[in-house]
Amino acid sequence: MHLIAAAQMVSTADKAHNVEAATRLVRRAAELGARLVGLPENFSWMGPEPERPAAAETLEGPTLSRMAQLARELRVTLLAGSVLEAGAPGGRLYNTSVLFGPDGARLATYRKMHLFDVDVGDGATYQESAAVAPGTEVVAAQTEVGRLGLSVCYDVRFPELYRRLSRDGATLLAVPAAFTLMTGKDHWEVLLRARAIENQAYVLAPAQGGRHSANRQTYGHSMVVDPWGLVTARASEGEGLAVAPVDPEMQARVRRNLPCLQHRRLD
């Protein structure tokens, strides 16, 4: 049995401050015994839309290099929730989640497939695709805690992605996010618990949680959900950690006693 941790942040346009906050939270999670630590979407930068291109980095840039070093130093598996990755077609960026192993090696790279182009009624219209290009690959990777399926935020509304991940052997699902306050208060927990129940998988959901600027506020409530759909750890608002165990025997029992993954009709 291993502990996993979802880190909650309130990132701003100050990248150095954000990276320091992320480092502090990962260190704290490791001190508590977590073997897998997840950071939220946009953990290194959440600033004004016109500044997005300037905030982007490559996969070998300073932010992810720092996270690789941190994973290696603490000997933990570290999910760098998402960063803005430079180099997408048409001058756009990718919203990219990167998983590092305890040796600091990059285990997986996932580029967010579903982009947040919506008007949720909070006074702001979101058009992620104006600057971000969608990824095309479904990604899972083996870790010491289990096989981890990667996703980012708005992806959680598309259950077919998680069906693919569970079919590919995922026993944990990562959902780093920056859910708006308007959608989060009604949908966040419901969607996470649904994805856990449908796939009989643990869900690790590190989130942004607080006020980032005068016109941007996120819901928070980072959490871990077990394969029965129960929330086993939860943060509230502001910086924090949600830490909970992963119990492979409990998960195997759930999948054996209620074998819905074997009953799927894919025809």
The pLDDT tens digits of the residues spanning 135-169 come to: 999 999 999 999 999 999 999 999 999 999 999 99
Residue 225's DSSP bridge partners are 203, 231
0.85 exceeded by the pTM?
A: yes
For residue 50, the model assigns a pLDDT of 86
Q: Would you list the domain boundaries of the chain?
A: 2-257
pLDDT of residue 213: 85
Q: Are 196 and 173 in contact (CB under 8 A)?
A: yes
pLDDT at 118: 86
Catalytic residues: 41, 112, 153
- Give me the percent of the chain exceeding a pLDDT of 70: 99
Residue 227 or residue 118, greater confidence:
227
Q: Please give the pLDDT value at position 123.
A: 64
Question: To the nearest whole number, what is the mean pLDDT of the chain?
Answer: 95
In CATH, the architecture of 2-257 is 4-Layer Sandwich (3.60)
CB 67 within 8 A of CB 99: no
What's the average model confidence in pLDDT over 92-96? 97
So what's the pLDDT on residue 107? Answer: 98
Diameter of the chain by CA atoms? Answer: 52
